[in-house]
């Protein structure tokens, strides 16, 4: 949430600000995707329509949880 003053200040921190924000964003996306499946036999899809996800994924996919990287279908 860039409207949060503390988040904005952290973003401005040289070298780690944007990676911290990227990690927070990827964690939220992974959490949302994980909510689709509650039980072992469940199946679901999460579609990310935000065009900025492409850049986020290209530059920061190393920050995503391993389970998310294993199941992501990127088109």
Q: What are the structural domain ranges in the chain?
A: 5-71
The DSSP string of 61-72 is GGGS-HHHHHH-
- Tell me which of 9-13, 31-35, 43-47, 55-59 is least confident: 9-13
Band of residue 53 on the pLDDT scale cut at 50, 70, 90: very high
Position 36 pLDDT exceeds 90: no
Radius of gyration of the chain from Cα atoms? Answer: 14
Cβ partners under 8 Å of residue 39, min gap 6: none
What pTM did the predictor assign?
A: 0.74
The answer to whether 45 and 36 have CB atoms below 8 angstroms apart is yes
Average pLDDT of the chain, as a whole number? 85
pLDDT at 54 over 70: yes
């Amino acid at each position: 949430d860039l409207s949060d003053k503390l988040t904005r200040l952290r973003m401005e921190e040289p070298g780690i600000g944007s990676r911290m924000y990227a990690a927070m964003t990827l964690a939220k996306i992974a959490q949302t995707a994980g909510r689709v499946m509650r039980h072992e036999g469940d199946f679901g899809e999460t579609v990310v329509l935000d065009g900025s996800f492409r850049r986020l994924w290209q530059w920061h996919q190393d920050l995503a949880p391993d389970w998310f990287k294993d199941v992501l279908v990127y088109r």
